[in-house]
Amino acid sequence: MGLGTFCRITIGRKIYAVGGSEIAARNSGIRVGRMKLLAYVISGLATGIAAVLSLGYYGAGSSGDGQGYELNAIAAAVVGGVSLVGGKGTALGAFLGAVILQMISNGLVILNIPQNYSQIVIGLVVIAAVVFDQLNAWVAQRRLLVKAASIKKEVLRASETPVSLKPKTT
């Protein structure tokens, strides 16, 4: 609920724009440096709150408590449709990716597969998601090229004189 509200307010949209393309955001009048700083401050604040809640739940804490969760976080985002190149993806997609990965992890436990293989399976899922994302981008680019070629052919057929790319000099 908070994330949906954050995406609708001005600051959330500006941070999202900076994440999509810094150059476009800068050209739109957004102060990119301030938005990046604000994003890091919000992230640090959320991390601090999570650490305090974890400390309250477990009664103790150490610096290595979250170690190894980086792969899971990246995997959840990639499986949820976030492009590793940037510019694509939603928070809802990342959340659904996390749900899918947790379902896979629970399935491995139910099937009595050793926990050591969990990271291997997550890695394979990430590789499959990246390959699918790259394949999808390639297909979209090919469709665009085919469409541009067909438009060019229609223009050439419609005109009686051939279209020249060179300007006429008189």
Q: Which DSSP string do the residues of the chain spell out, in sequence order?
A: -HHHHHHHSHHHHHHHHHHH-HHHHHHTT--HHHHHHHHHHHHHHHHHHHHHHHHHHHS---TTTTTTHHHHHHHHHHHTT--TTSS---HHHHHHHHHHHHHHHHHHHHTT--THHHHHHHHHHHHHHHHHHHHHHHHHHHHHHHHHHHHHHHHHHHSSSPP-SSPP--
Residues 51 and 78 in one domain: no
pLDDT in tens, 144-165: 998 888 888 877 777 655 556 6
Total domains present in the chain? 2
Could you give the angle at the alpha carbon of 117 between the alpha carbons of 116 and 120, nearest 5°?
A: 120
Higher pLDDT, 72 or 6: 72
Residues 123 and 57 in one domain: no
Q: Domain boundary residue among 20, 37, 67?
A: 67
User: 19 near 86, Cβ under 8 Å?
Assistant: yes
The domain of 48 spans 1-67
Residues 53 and 4 in one domain: yes
pLDDT of residue 36: 93
Residues 99 and 170 in one domain: yes
* Whole-angstrom distance, CA of residue 127 vs CA of residue 32: 32
Residues 97 and 151 in one domain: yes
pLDDT of residue 91: 79
Residues 89 and 146 in one domain: yes
User: 87 near 20, Cβ under 8 Å?
Assistant: yes
pLDDT in tens, 19-51: 878 899 999 999 999 999 999 999 899 889 988
Residues 91 and 156 in one domain: yes
Residues 53 and 72 in one domain: no
pLDDT in tens, 56-102: 888 887 777 777 788 888 888 888 888 777 667 777 888 999 999 99
pLDDT of residue 167: 64
Residues 53 and 134 in one domain: no
pLDDT of residue 67: 79
pTM over the 0.85 mark: no
pLDDT of residue 157: 75
* Whole-angstrom distance, CA of residue 137 vs CA of residue 131: 10
Residues 8 and 79 in one domain: no
Residues 58 and 88 in one domain: no
pLDDT in tens, 97-127: 999 999 998 999 999 988 888 888 888 988 9
For tokens 């990342």, name the residue.
94
Q: Domain boundary residue among 33, 67, 101?
A: 67
pLDDT of residue 77: 87
Residues 19 and 42 in one domain: yes
Q: Domain boundary residue among 10, 34, 67?
A: 67
pLDDT in tens, 130-141: 898 888 888 988
Sign of CA dihedral 58, 61, 63, 64: negative
